[in-house]
Amino acid sequence: MLRDGVPFFTGQSAGVYQSIYVAIPGTGHIVEVLGDWYLPALPPCHVRFSSIDQFCSPKRRRRLRASAPPLPSLDLGVAYSPGDADTNKTTMAGADPRAAIDFAVRYLGGSPVQQHRGPMADGPCTTLAWAEWPDSHEWHVVRYDTADWVSSDGLRPAVPFNVSQLAEYVEALRDLTHGTYDQWLDHREVLSVGNLTELARVLRGDGVPFAVRSRPDEGTCSLLVDLPRNGLAVEVVSRVFDGAWLARRCAANEFDLCAPD
């Protein structure tokens, strides 16, 4: 990235680079690549930006030996041994992190995880809430008030909202009760489950709105749900949707990118 002039953000912990954050052009998305980087040429924190969402690769740590040869310039770990990679996660900027995690625990099979970033990382400047699934996938939902670049950098009116105001905007236009597909639903996490029927039953029982969309060529059906008070979306997809009501809804609502909604 330094060679090609691609801007990125990085920082150190105990003198070791642990993440590189790079934007996917034209999307507002961030990819975070974690690892131990012993490269003194990397300037610390040389670009500052913020985003709505970042997707984190599996964390990889190479077992370095004193006699190990230098790392190739583009070695991203494809030859790592089993066990060198541990968790993977999706980090989401959210207006109400705890509401997002509560929803994940109640409806999506996640378990709450206690984060250990210290009081300053979950107090007056930042709110963090985490969840973990049985396959070790994690959500880290973050409200980072000190990184509110819209307010602190005086970017209004060119940038009209911060993350909280964006969540309010999306929540106001979202209409999953009527199955409406808004463009913000394209910004979503996708989770695969064994059977959609039980989830649909629980959501309906609790009065939680959701949209149904199917992909007949793939033999799948999906429920699209909103993470309340955050304007974030989740698609839960499965090849099994054997309840009569859900099967009818799936058959009647195919994904159609040309449809008006």
How large is the average pLDDT for residues 219-233?
96
How large is the average pLDDT for residues 81-98?
72
**pLDDT value at residue 11:** 65
* Domain residue spans of the chain: 8-67+85-162, 164-252
pLDDT in tens, 94-123: 999 999 999 999 999 999 998 766 555 566
**pLDDT value at residue 228:** 95
How large is the average pLDDT for residues 166-180?
94
Q: Which of 244, 225, 243 is nearest to 235 (CA)?
A: 225
pLDDT in tens, 35-73: 655 555 555 544 444 444 555 544 444 443 444 444 444
Cβ-based neighbours of 69, under 8 Å, separated by 6 or more: none
**pLDDT value at residue 85:** 43
What would be the CATH architecture of the domain defined by 164-252? Roll (3.10)
pLDDT at 197 exceeding the cut of 60: yes
pLDDT at 199 exceeding the cut of 50: yes
**pLDDT value at residue 167:** 92
Rounded to two decimals, what is the model's pTM? 0.75
**pLDDT value at residue 43:** 57
**pLDDT value at residue 91:** 86
**pLDDT value at residue 48:** 40
What is the spatial distance between Cα 132 and Cα 89, in angstroms, rounded to a whole number? 9
| Long-range Cβ contacts of 110-115 (<8 Å, 24+ apart) | 110/139, 113/138, 115/140
**pLDDT value at residue 145:** 74
